[in-house]
Structure 1
Amino acid sequence: MAKKPNILFIFSDQHRHDVLGCAGHPLVQTPNLDRLTDWGMRFERAWTQCPVCMPCRATMITGRYTHELGFTSNVTADRGDTVDDSPFKPAWPTIMKQLQGGGYETASIGKTHYHGRPGSQEAGERGENFDTRQFGDFVKDFGWDYVMEEYDRYGHVQSHVKSPYMDFLEARGLLEAHQEQIRGIYRLTPTHWRGETSVLPQECELSSFIADHAMDWLQSRDSEKPFYLHLGFVQPHVPLMDDPIWAAYYADADIELPDMTMPSATNEVWAGKVKRLKTHSQVQTMTDDFVREGIRHYLGAVSLVDQKIGEVIDTLDALGELDNTWIIYSADHGEMLGEHHLWAKHCFYEGSVQVPLIVSPPDRKNRGVCSDLTQLIDVVSTIAEIGQVAPPEGARGQSLLPMLERGSGGYEYVFSTIEDWTGVRNEGYRFTLHVPTGTPCELYDLARDPGELNNCVEDPAYGEIVNQLKAVVLDHCAG
């Protein structure tokens, strides 16, 4: 019986869908993601099921929508010393458990975000160290045989917190300088969105550390089982930081600004959301030069992730495993990158909700670009089909494998939810509903307005479309 194929799922954080060479970006260098595209298919209209980290990551192990899992934001558990209040439940059916049952060795290296960013204030007040590795057994309960977990850079600023990467930096005498820099560009400081170049050498950057650990794991494993490796890069998530080498590369790049037209508040319900988006983005700081600098650092962070992906691919090749390995690349959500005068995500604009999605089979045959609407939860069903196991119970997505052969077969509607808002799009329109009150908040006629600049939700000419899409959303949320 032929050995089942290996599966490498590379999942970065906050990678905007069009910041790829293969997507036509004029500046960014991503030769390895371009190579994966040449070896398979890029799905250019893939929607995340939630444009923030934690809920999306829950959908990516279960294949279920966020409202079915019971949480739609990061706030629930983004703090504390324990996993007691985590919205992630080890009893969930997951794709990793299915693969374990199908004979796979499973490993998660990098970011998982199944529990909150370690705040550990209580430990600090007691004068005790707090080691993030204590969460390892909790993460393993979701179906991982091996776990090496790392965190957003914000998790590295407290001197009493310990993690694998912090130990790595401390052993090299670099931890204090790293912590000092992160404190200086911490959340909502004036330089938070403008970004900086890291004080660390490239080989000590967090992306390098995570990739190096993954390569060590691949080289040292002695199992005869096929593997499922989830490689979770933290970057290009904020703070926007590039390494010195890529910073030099982009230093003189001619950065083109996006359209920075601000969102419109069409009604009182939506006005509150728009205000929070603007506050989080610190719109008062967003001069043209400020935004250009943020984009510059973001491009460098993306290119370092790409560089490290190339090293992992080359390691698979050297081990003789590449010809039996499926490689999938995506991200949990995008990054507004100054578009609509916003940073980050938290909304249903294309820059936030649309993500890169590349599927590369072992035969490495180019299958082009699929323009059909797809969803991130499709990755769960795709991995299940590759691993010859059933999807986890309750999974909603569809396998992308048939689309690799025929080039089409997506959805009529795709959905995303954050907090009390659910967004939907089809071929012609994107619509947002405040579900608790039933208030329509956004409607964009994408044929006439692909840049999503004219919110026509209150235009009487679109009344029938608004009512139709409102019914679609309510039916989705009731399912």
Structure 2
Amino acid sequence: MLNKTSGNEVTKARPNVLFVTVDQWPGGLLGCAGHPVIETPTLDHLASIGRRFTNATSECPICIPARRSIMTGTSPRRHGDRTFQPSLPMSKELPTLAETYRRNGYQTQAIGKLHVYPQRDRIGFDDALLAEEGRGALGGVDDYELFLADKGYAGQQFLHGMSNNEYSWRTWHLPEELHVTNWTTWAAARSIKRRDPTRPALWHVSYTPPHPPLIPLASYLERYRARDIDEPYAGDWASEPESLPYPLKLARDYWPQLPAAQLADMRRAFYALCTHIDHQLRVLIGTLREEQVLDNTIILITSDHGDMLGNHGFYAKRLMYQNSANVPMILVGTADDGVVGNGVVDHRLVGLQDIMPTLLDLCGLPVPETCEGWSMISSRKRETFYAEALSGAKAMRMIRDGRHKLIWYPAGSRFQLFDLCEDPHELHDLSASADHREIFKSLQERLRGELYGDDLLAVDGSDFVGLAVPSSPILQNRGLSGQRGLHYPAPPLQDPSVVVGGV
């Protein structure tokens, strides 16, 4: 699209941005990443006409902290959350992605999951249509639940009986068009069609799957039924659960170990949710094309974190292993792009904090000084990348370079070292290897420089003295990891600071 100016000058209109996030999707779970089973034809095609970042890492692989990094371009140390604080508002001192675009003349719309507090805080978006996974008890109106009520299914979103944080599964229980993935796509496509044609737009489309509950459409589960599913892998260090570092014991004990057949079916359900989203992205691309704005639209797709999916005996996120911390990151430029490239596979170390400066850079907009992330289309290259999750005895800290990854568990001061080039599945812990002593010490030194807050109680100068390992028994999971119930009438309001479904 071109804008006419005075005289004979013609300037190109600022590009639109379609920024898509998915929830709990591992970076390796893509056809273009070499996964042997998953079907992701749309994402594979987008990678072939854009740039895929293989070493994209979530600075804190937990939903809320990760989304703070996305929306502010900052690390957990800067935005103040590495533990999942559901009642902590977004910092007013950090300009958000949406706020920055809006101040520069963009119309901004969010559709799907924002995971902020208060829930209807638009964090800079002109408007937000929310699907917040049944969090109405925290206050605020959920647009997806309003949609279900309008269709005659008030309060029935969770009558499938599956928990939002467990690994049982069943097919979707309502008509196909009422699935949250379909609603998110429909609402986003309608927002594209209802745009102001005189201004560029930022559409943030945030899908809640494949995060549990695992409730795929029957038609998508069916396409995986006849296939052999890749089996989970387990490192030699994971063979004795009692010898695991304390945070890993908590995670191992929280979810039951699924028998092989059930675990394979669980993966089928998870993959089905992914392929459903992949196909729905085609509706958004088709809408952009038919509205004649696709060629001047930047597309970026990522996830807040991944999911262990039974690998090493673990499920869900929070952990520093690749299936949890590595995320998809696919960037597609405009039709006349000369920067992003076509079919580029980029192995640099990047993170969620880099999304905001990258999109602003591509649009020719100033990047706020508060952003700590780097534009991924620049030539800058990190030597190391740091990630963190939780605090105290549950804390996990990680630093990696282009090849090796060092993980530290302050409780008991336990370390793990992996060679990601030779051992991408992290099967062999090299922390005690004499041949790797130099890289172990080098990464330790880099890690020490990243520590702050209560982590400093676990170090003495350059020594990692650690924290005491708690002896308290593991609490009973009486709430089935945050199981939802009947949502009509709406559940009573609850304390928003209470973490639901956490380990």
Once residues 79 and 196 of structure 2 are traced to their aligned partners in structure 1, the CA distance between those partners, rounded to angstroms, is 36
Contact 1:95/1:391 (8 A) holds in 2? no
- Aligned equivalent of 1:29: 39
Deviations 1:176-234 (A, max 9, x none): 554321xx22256xxx3132111123221001101100111111123511011111010
> Could you tell me how far 1:478 is from its partner in structure 2?
5.1
In structure 1, which of residues 411, 416, 431 is the aligned counterpart of residue 406 of structure 2? 431
Deviations 1:37-78 (A, max 9, x none): 12211111111111110001001111111122221022x22x
Task: Label 1:392 to 1:276 Cα distance change in 2 as closer, same or farther (>3 A).
Answer: farther
Once residues 15 and 240 of structure 2 are traced to their aligned partners in structure 1, the CA distance between those partners, rounded to angstroms, is 51
- Aligned equivalent of 2:264: 292
- Aligned equivalent of 1:476: 450
- 1:150-161 to 2 correspondences below 5 Å: 150-152=131-133, 154-155=134-135
- Aligned equivalent of 1:120: none
1:415 counterpart SS class: strand
Task: Label 1:254 to 1:468 Cα distance change in 2 as closer, same or farther (>3 A).
Answer: same
2:397 counterpart SS class: strand
**Can you give the 5+ residue segments of structure 1 that lack an aligned partner in the other structure?**
78-84, 116-133, 404-408
Once residues 406 and 242 of structure 2 are traced to their aligned partners in structure 1, the CA distance between those partners, rounded to angstroms, is 17
Once residues 241 and 307 of structure 2 are traced to their aligned partners in structure 1, the CA distance between those partners, rounded to angstroms, is 25
2:119 counterpart SS class: helix
TM-score normalized by the length of structure 1: 0.84
Once residues 276 and 50 of structure 2 are traced to their aligned partners in structure 1, the CA distance between those partners, rounded to angstroms, is 22
> Could you tell me how far 1:2 is from its partner in structure 2?
2.3
- Aligned equivalent of 2:383: 412
Task: Label 1:461 to 1:330 Cα distance change in 2 as closer, same or farther (>3 A).
Answer: same
Report the number of matched residues. Answer: 435
- Aligned equivalent of 1:242: 216
Once residues 59 and 361 of structure 2 are traced to their aligned partners in structure 1, the CA distance between those partners, rounded to angstroms, is 21
Once residues 352 and 66 of structure 1 are traced to their aligned partners in structure 2, the CA distance between those partners, rounded to angstroms, is 17
Report the residue type matching 1:326 in the other structure: I
In structure 2, which of residues 223, 230, 234 is the aligned counterpart of residue 256 of structure 1? 230
Task: Label 1:20 to 1:428 Cα distance change in 2 as closer, same or farther (>3 A).
Answer: closer
- Aligned equivalent of 2:295: 323
Once residues 248 and 42 of structure 1 are traced to their aligned partners in structure 2, the CA distance between those partners, rounded to angstroms, is 29
Task: Label 1:13 to 1:33 Cα distance change in 2 as closer, same or farther (>3 A).
Answer: same
Once residues 269 and 4 of structure 1 are traced to their aligned partners in structure 2, the CA distance between those partners, rounded to angstroms, is 56
Once residues 395 and 161 of structure 1 are traced to their aligned partners in structure 2, the CA distance between those partners, rounded to angstroms, is 29
- 1:63-82 to 2 correspondences below 5 Å: 63-74=73-84, 76-77=85-86
Task: Label 1:213 to 1:443 Cα distance change in 2 as closer, same or farther (>3 A).
Answer: same
Task: Label 1:266 to 1:242 Cα distance change in 2 as closer, same or farther (>3 A).
Answer: closer
The answer to whether structure 1 residue 149 and structure 2 residue 167 are counterparts is no
The answer to whether structure 1 residue 19 and structure 2 residue 23 are counterparts is no
> Could you tell me how far 1:460 is from its partner in structure 2?
5.0
In structure 2, which of residues 96, 100, 103 is the aligned counterpart of residue 101 of structure 1? 103
Once residues 187 and 387 of structure 1 are traced to their aligned partners in structure 2, the CA distance between those partners, rounded to angstroms, is 37
Task: Label 1:400 to 1:161 Cα distance change in 2 as closer, same or farther (>3 A).
Answer: closer
> Could you tell me how far 1:262 is from its partner in structure 2?
7.4
> Could you tell me how far 1:373 is from its partner in structure 2?
2.2
- Aligned equivalent of 2:147: 168
Once residues 252 and 367 of structure 1 are traced to their aligned partners in structure 2, the CA distance between those partners, rounded to angstroms, is 31
In structure 1, which of residues 164, 168, 185 is the aligned counterpart of residue 162 of structure 2? 185
2:27 counterpart SS class: coil
- Aligned equivalent of 1:360: 332
Task: Label 1:312 to 1:400 Cα distance change in 2 as closer, same or farther (>3 A).
Answer: same
- Aligned equivalent of 2:485: none
> Could you tell me how far 1:318 is from its partner in structure 2?
0.3
> Could you tell me how far 1:314 is from its partner in structure 2?
0.3
Deviations 1:342-389 (A, max 9, x none): 111111111111011000011276232112222222111101102222
Report the residue type matching 2:406 in the other structure: F
Contact 1:270/1:441 (8 A) holds in 2? no
- Aligned equivalent of 2:179: 205
Once residues 254 and 306 of structure 1 are traced to their aligned partners in structure 2, the CA distance between those partners, rounded to angstroms, is 21
Contact 1:214/1:312 (8 A) holds in 2? yes
Contact 2:245/2:412 (8 A) holds in 1? no
2:295 counterpart SS class: helix
- Structure with more of its chain in helix, by fraction: 1
Percent identical = 26
Contact 2:110/2:125 (8 A) holds in 1? yes
Contact 1:264/1:455 (8 A) holds in 2? no
Once residues 140 and 74 of structure 2 are traced to their aligned partners in structure 1, the CA distance between those partners, rounded to angstroms, is 33
Task: Label 1:305 to 1:359 Cα distance change in 2 as closer, same or farther (>3 A).
Answer: same
- Aligned equivalent of 2:361: 385
- Aligned equivalent of 1:58: 68
Deviations 1:373-410 (A, max 9, x none): 2222211110110222222232122112246xxxxx53
Deviations 1:438-478 (A, max 9, x none): 93522113344332122232445544433321221221235
Report the residue type matching 1:98 in the other structure: T
TM-score normalized by the length of structure 2: 0.80
Once residues 64 and 202 of structure 1 are traced to their aligned partners in structure 2, the CA distance between those partners, rounded to angstroms, is 38
- Aligned equivalent of 2:480: none
Task: Label 1:373 to 1:198 Cα distance change in 2 as closer, same or farther (>3 A).
Answer: same
Once residues 62 and 208 of structure 2 are traced to their aligned partners in structure 1, the CA distance between those partners, rounded to angstroms, is 13
The answer to whether structure 1 residue 9 and structure 2 residue 11 are counterparts is no
**Can you give the 5+ residue segments of structure 2 that lack an aligned partner in the other structure?**
1-10, 454-503
Contact 2:52/2:330 (8 A) holds in 1? yes
> Could you tell me how far 1:307 is from its partner in structure 2?
1.2
